A and B are shown apart, each in its own frame.
Chain A
Amino acid sequence: MLRGSRVTAHGWGWRHAGRRAWAVHDLELDIEPGEKLLLLGPSGAGKSTLVHALAGVLGDSDDGDDTGQLRVDGLAPAAARGRVGLLLQDPDSQVTLARVGDDVAFGCENLGVERDEIWRRVREALDAVGLDLPLDHPTSRLSGGQKQRLALAGILAMRPGLVLLDEPTANLDPGGVAEVRDAVARMLERTRATLIVIEHRVGTWQDLVDRVVVLDPEGGVLADGGTREVLAGQGAQLAARGVWVPGHPPAHPQRQRQVPAHQLLVAQDLSVSRIPGVVVASDIRLTVNTGRALAVTGPNGSGKSTLALNLAGLLAPAAGELRATDRLAQGAGSEPIRWKSRELLTRIGTVFQDPEHQFLTSTVRAELELGPRTLKLPEEEIRARVDELLQRLRMEHLAQANPFTLSGGEKRRLSVATALVSKPQVLVLDEPTFGQDAQTWQELAALLAGLLDEGTALVAVTHDLDFVAALGDRTLELPAPHPVEQVRS
């Protein structure tokens, strides 16, 4: 069996091309072969940069400058490619080929491994991550958790000395998180590879790692030691900087609950479908009320997101009725799907699961101005609203930044703000807390609690039970999907 790799950094630093600040600098680090390490640090501390550098995919002098020395088994990372495997955050962007077996084999092929040996390794790797599927199973039909395990198998088949996991579960629901965590645990029983994990949620990994390193955004390392010592000594401080540390939950907001509940949306025997003819949830009865939060929960595939898109007036009901009351419609008619796009702005705002889908302009400020401009509000009013939101979300310094270059937490805050700026009576959110650090989570919860107390109605599709506990006045749990009846067209 292969030995784990030794990682060393001496005064290492990296600055992305075109930036003034160093992403990482003055880093001193020694990782013994076979060590399992959890890499923590507030957003912007350069965790991802370090891991990408170790995988040899940061690029060359066109992409940035480096100082000091970074070595994997005494080699520059670019020369050690193939000794190092990297698992990234987004499940969809890591699948290379159409069939499960071929995808796992891809890395081995690039390393020039002999054919018989490749297929032996493919079967071994799939077994190690517990992915019991035929080799010709289409990769397009895998769930998010399965895709991450597939990518992990592809890395294992390369027999790496160093395995890097860069927030591998940030885009997954709780079931997917457990799947990937268990797959990594199985993997660690079979390999002596060195492991580095980046993750906001310490609880997911603390039993699998034996060392925690906290990067300092000012450069160097804040804390380094055994898992227990570091968490005991630094736990509170880490939690304050956004890391999810067990025993240090973020504060839940205070609610006033003084606004009377008036009906805004009423659904009766509602059936919803995203693709015409394929109903994903049916017989739904609910009301959306002023100043109240409705949490929609349920397993994957139960139609939660599709229901949200219906309530948001973006998809037409497949059957049954979704009615807007006069209080919400204000003369626009009782069916939200028939409203003009512009009419939705002040009535129902939507925050999509993937913020990137809803960004339409090239600066944060323009993104926030878009709604009010469409409503033809006066210039002063627009400026006042935008400035207030920028300040409230701590994004003033980013007003001119491109939305696509923001961090995950910043993108989420901006996507919520783009809906809020038009002051809708109903706000529909799809998995608002996915992959967020504890600080963003706490701010988001506080912001939404404030909206509720001002009388806004909330609908949140979520897997996050903490979030439901903090905000949900009522919960609608959709049942597990029954085998989908496909209507042939």
Chain B
Amino acid sequence: MSRATKETTGVATRIADATRPIHRVNPVAKLAAAFIISLTLIASIDWVSAGVVLLLEAALFGWVGIRLSVFLRRSWPILLASPLAGLTTVLYGEPSGQLYWEFLFIHVTDGSIYLGVATALRILAIGLAGMVMFLTIDPTDLADGLAQVLRLPARFVLGALAAMRLAGLLVEDWRSLGLARRARGVGDSQGFVGKLRLWLNQAFSLLVLALRRGSKLATAMEARGFGADTRRSWARESVFVGRDWLLIAISVLIAATAVAVSIWSGHWNFIFG
């Protein structure tokens, strides 16, 4: 049908072969791994820890079979955002050390260059880790993991999962709403405020439609016994086994190595300290 639906359903299998180990790892383990690495990188602003993480991540991604072409296509926002954030920090970051260039509020100094490089690497390392983890996670498998491994309430997890599926329909609804407004004579707008008002009105209509769809879906789910007192069973088993612990161990190892190298080279600066 539409290209949008194809893209959303294909995401999980395209970035790596479905047979590669990363697809058999429990999504909960992937979440934990991304969390461990991110938390470590947030603790300090130095280029060494971020650089080490980035290097080790690259090795890990290669090992789990991420395809480079798909990877680049998907990660361009991060690849673009990180140098931009770095540049901003170079220009406006806290000045210290030798001053190279100055203009109004811009001070390029030793200190701001150092901070800029550290920021860019940090965004890259956190962003890429998160992205790869999430692109290889199938939403249904994640829900299974959250409910069966982490024992989050099934009602909440499955409700959210079903709602996510409706989000795809909303894209189509948004398009139809836009056309309908033009047909009803209220699609003209002038200036920024006019456009904003039009957009807000349309967003409100979308909200109304979404609520109606949601309540219909809730009825359909309830009619199939969802939310009853019976203890639920699971058609798909979500297990947490050796390979999942292995991924977590690897992420701890990456984080620990980065911290160790950074401390040893004298670059570590604990920002909460």
Contacts and interface: CB of A to CB of B under 8 A. Distances in A.
A447 interface: no
A88 B233 contact: no
Interface of B is mostly: helix
A96 B157 CA distance: 13
B49 to A, nearest CB: 38
Interface string B132-163: 00000011100000000000000000100110
A315 B175 CA distance: 11
Chain B interface extent, by class:
35 or more
A110 B182 contact: no
Given A96-B220, A315-B179, A118 B3 contact: no
Contacts of B19: none
Contacts of B177: 357
A94 B220 contact: yes
B219 interface: yes
Interface stretch (B96-104, B116-124, B208-216): B208-216
B237 interface: yes
A345 interface: yes
A102 B236 contact: yes
A175 interface: no
Contacts of A55: 223
B153 to A, nearest CB: 14
Contacts of A119: 235
B173 interface: yes
Interface in A1-59: 52, 55-57
Contacts of B8: 140
Interface stretch (A287-295, A370-378, A469-477): A370-378
Contact of A358 (B161, B183, B222, B233): B183
B185 A314 contact: no
A487 to B, nearest CB: 10
A349 B188 contact: no
B212 A404 contact: yes
B230 interface: yes
B66 to A, nearest CB: 22
B174 to A, nearest CB: 10
Contacts of B265: none
Contact of B183 (A81, A154, A349): A349
Given A97-B165, A138-B9, A151-B220, A354 B176 contact: yes
A480 interface: no
A383 interface: no
B221 A108 contact: no
Contact of A375 (B1, B185, B209, B232): B185
Given A97-B161, A486-B3, A342 B188 contact: yes
B5 interface: yes
19 contacts: A81-B225, A88-B219, A96-B220, A97-B161, A97-B162, A102-B235, A109-B232, A109-B234, A111-B228, A115-B234, A115-B235, A118-B233, A122-B235, A140-B5, A154-B224, A349-B183, A350-B180, A354-B176, A360-B205
Given A94-B216, A102-B140, 11 more contacts: A81-B225, A82-B230, A88-B216, A88-B219, A95-B165, A107-B224, A109-B235, A356-B209, A357-B209, A370-B184, A422-B185
Interface of B: 1-6, 8-9, 138-140, 158, 161-162, 165, 168-169, 173, 176-177, 179-188, 201, 205, 208-209, 212-213, 216-217, 219-228, 230-237
Question: 9 shortest A-B CB distances, which residue pairs?
Answer: A341-B187, A110-B225, A93-B216, A107-B224, A105-B235, A350-B183, A86-B223, A358-B180, A345-B185
